[in-house]
């Protein structure tokens, strides 16, 4: 049975993520143990909240290098919401350096007439990597659930796997590079579409273990 480590750094939504993974047949293990993260078949990095406390908590629990090592190892890795943002080098939300796995910065939505910040609620994805395994068996332009005031701005636009439009702004909603995937929205709150994504991720984990 494949074990998926769900990283606990005291930044929310662990149980809803685990419930979503359990619903698609996975065995998630909430942990802040570097050894368990290393031994796991895959890693999920969720998160809700602010950039600086997230990085401070990761540092205080000695999780920065284990997370980077997990990504470098080639095992399937999924970041969710704040777990996407902290993969980047820095954020306009704070002063702490991010993990720096992906080159780029986290930026705040620009104010414009009629624009609601945070971007909260259901919105449609536009796939920029339509053949990504995470998107298998999904309708085109699926609806998913967002809650965020900041978005990631990668240096290399080739890593973008989906975008979303909020007001007049088209921003990155998901990234993918090799074994690393991360999304700004919440698949665990995105009904059957989100569960399908989690199921697709679990299928990738099982295929990797079986290979």
What residues are annotated to the active site? 81, 186, 188
- Please tell me whether the peptide bond between 170 and the residue prior to it is cis, using omega within 30 degrees of 0: no
What is the enclosing helix (H) or strand (E) of 143? strand 143-148
Outline where DSSP puts E strands in 87-209. 88-91, 102-108, 119-124, 126-127, 143-148, 150-154, 160-166, 169-177, 180-183
Under 8 Å between Cβ of 124 and 140: no
Strand pairing report for 119-124 and 160-166: unpaired
Under 8 Å between Cβ of 142 and 157: no
d(CA 194, CA 65): 29
d(CA 51, CA 53): 6
d(CA 159, CA 172): 10
d(CA 208, CA 186): 24
């Amino acid at each position: 049975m494949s074990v998926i480590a769900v990283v606990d750094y005291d930044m929310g939504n662990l149980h809803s993520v685990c419930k979503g993974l359990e619903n698609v047949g996975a065995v998630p293990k909430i942990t802040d143990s570097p050894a368990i993260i290393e031994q796991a078949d895959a890693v999920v990095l969720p998160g809700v909240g602010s950039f600086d406390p997230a990085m401070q908590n990761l540092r205080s629990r000695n999780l920065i290098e284990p997370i980077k090592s997990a990504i470098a190892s080639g095992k399937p890795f999924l970041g969710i919401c704040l777990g996407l943002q902290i993969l980047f080098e820095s954020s306009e939300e704070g002063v702490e350096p991010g993990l720096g796995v992906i080159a780029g910065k986290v930026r705040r939505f620009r104010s414009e007439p009629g624009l609601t910040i945070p971007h909260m609620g259901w919105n449609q994805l536009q796939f920029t990597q339509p053949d990504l395994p995470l998107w298998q068996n999904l309708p085109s332009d699926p609806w998913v659930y967002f809650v965020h005031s900041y978005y990631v701005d990668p240096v290399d636009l080739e890593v973008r796997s989906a975008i979303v439009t909020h007001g007049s702004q088209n921003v990155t909603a998901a990234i993918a590079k090799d074994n690393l995937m991360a999304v700004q929205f919440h698949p665990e709150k995105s009904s059957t579409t989100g569960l399908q994504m989690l199921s697709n991720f679990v299928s990738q984990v099982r295929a990797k273990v079986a290979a």
